[in-house]
A and B are shown apart, each in its own frame.
Chain A
Amino acid sequence: MENTVTHIEHRDDFGAKLGMWIFIFTEMLLFGGLFLVYSVFRWKFSADFHEAAAELNTFLGTINTVVLLISSMTVAMALTAIQKNNPKLAVNLLLITVFLGCVFLFNKYHEWGTEIRDGLYPGAANLMNQQHGVTLFFGLYFFMTGLHMLHMIAGMILLTIIAIRVKSGKVNSNKYTLLENGSLYWCLVDLIWIFLFPLLYLVT
């Protein structure tokens, strides 16, 4: 009697990618809702928003934008690396991406630190005493950049797990959907920041 078990591998790479895109759509609508709130309050309180945005550190914001753009490139290159059967390069590129994410978080820590020290955080007496639009701006600023930051941390954890899987060979040149989807997620995080940066920092 045979005791062999035939393992039928069910594999649907296109389905997996489509599923990832559908998840990305929900994320786009999530942040889209916040941008909608921003657009209404910006329309209602343009002068206050102008004044409040001047408090933000545009230099650090610009550095963060550049850092994220480079990290999107490195994660996209990691996909090319695995497709070309160069797992070592793929791992290195993934780790560079995570490192760039850490740089972003480090900058954000400084920005938020300054703003919190200046009493410009939601609930602070100083902020509540400002013009209504200024209070709204900072509420939106902390919520949107905070939510974005959570997504970044989730992305960094995901990319690290993927790097480990590439190293162990579970993700390779014949089976790289996980890396592809991880890179899509990271590029989405960058995409969101591309909209956050001008709307919060630049349009004054």
Chain B
Amino acid sequence: MNQEKQHITEYKVYGIVLVALLLLTALSIWVTHIDLKAWTVGIALLVTCSMAFIILTYFMHLKFDHILIKILVGLVFVLFAIFVGITLLEYMTR
């Protein structure tokens, strides 16, 4: 397979994506400055994961890539979540 029918993302799209990411960065800073007690970490991580999703989808071109790559990326995140989940479970049940 070579490069003949590749999707070309317009410059403007990248500009819009950057603005969205900067806004989310501002949001994550704001969220950690107001007192949300136990929810702070969860919400901050949610904002961070949204930013990660946007970077993967647009800057790393996943949106226009072959489905195989999309599935593999998803699986790696699931694998990592399992590692964290089981490790923390082990610590919490000691």
Contact = CB atoms under 8 A, between A and B. Distances in A.
A54 B74 CA distance: 34
A202 interface: yes
A80 B87 contact: no
Interface of B (DSSP majority class)? helix
Contacts of A176: 3
Given A25-B72, A29-B80, A73-B15, A14 B52 contact: no
A71 B44 CA distance: 23
A177 B3 CA distance: 8
Interface of A (DSSP majority class)? helix
Nearest to B68: A18
Contacts of A195: 48, 52
Given A28-B76, A198-B45, A21 B14 contact: no
A194 B48 contact: yes
Interface in A127-166: none
A77 B15 CA distance: 9
A14 B66 contact: yes
Contacts of B45: 198
Interface of B: 1-3, 6, 8-11, 14-15, 17-18, 21-22, 25, 28-29, 32, 40-41, 44-45, 47-48, 51-52, 55-56, 58-61, 65-66, 68-69, 72-73, 76, 79-80, 83-84, 87-88, 91-92
Given A28-B76, A62-B25, A73-B18, 16 more contacts: A12-B1, A13-B1, A13-B2, A21-B72, A22-B72, A28-B80, A35-B84, A72-B55, A80-B14, A183-B59, A184-B60, A184-B61, A194-B51, A195-B48, A203-B40, A204-B32
Interface of A: 11-15, 17-18, 21-22, 25, 28-29, 32-33, 35-36, 39-40, 43-44, 58, 62, 65-66, 69-70, 72-73, 75-77, 79-80, 83-84, 174-177, 180, 183-184, 187-188, 190-191, 194-195, 198, 202-204
Contacts of B6: 83
B58 A194 contact: no
B80 A77 contact: no
23 contacts: A13-B1, A14-B66, A18-B69, A21-B72, A35-B84, A36-B84, A40-B88, A43-B92, A69-B21, A69-B25, A72-B59, A73-B15, A76-B14, A80-B10, A80-B14, A180-B61, A184-B61, A187-B55, A187-B59, A190-B55, A191-B55, A191-B60, A202-B29
A173 to B, nearest CB: 9
A191 to B, nearest CB: 5
Contacts of A79: 9, 61
Contact of A39 (B11, B32, B56, B88): B88
A176 B76 CA distance: 26
Contacts of A184: 60-61
